[in-house]
Structure 1
Amino acid sequence: MATVTNWIDHLNKPAEEVAGAIYPGAGSVEGILVIIALILWVGWHVLTARAESDELSRLARKRHSANDHKSNITDW
C-alpha cells in the first residue's frame, strides 16, 4: 500500500497518474460490504414490521371498551 507524503502534489495530479483510491478496501470489498449492508437493512425492516404487526394484532384482540380509560388500564 502506498503512503501519501505530500497531499498537495497528490491532489493536483491528473486522474490518470493517481494509482488508485487513497484508502484501503476500495474495489470489490466495498461492493460486498454494500450488499451486506442492504441485506441487513432490509432484514431489519422485515423483522421490525413483523414484530409491530404482532403487537398490533395482540392489542386489537383485546377489544377495549369505551369506558376502559376510567379503570386506569395502563396497557392500551
Structure 2
Amino acid sequence: MLTLLLSGDVSLNPGPVKNPCTKCQKAVRKNQQSIQCDRCDYWTHRVCIGISVDEYELLGKSDAEWVCEKCGSHQ
C-alpha cells in the first residue's frame, strides 16, 4: 500500500472531482485536450465529444462559439 501512495496515483481522501467533464464526469486535467463551453464555462474532453485532433486544433484557432450538449439542448 505504501508503494501505491508513493506513486502519487492514489489518494486516501480524493474528495469531489475538480473540473468534471460534462460527458463522462471524470476530471479534466491540464494535460488533456478539452474544450470549454461558451455558455456554462464547464469543460469537456475532446474524445468525449468525438472530434478529431485536427478539428480540435481548428476550433482552438477560430473565434467560433462552442456549446456543450447540456447548454445546446436548452435552446
Is this a same-fold pair by TM over 0.5? no
TM-score normalised by length of structure 1: 0.23
The structure with more radius of gyration: 1
Higher RCO (CA-CA < 8 Å; seq separation 6+): 2
- When you count strand as a share of all residues, which structure comes out higher? 2
TM-score normalised by length of structure 2: 0.23
- When you count helix as a share of all residues, which structure comes out higher? 1
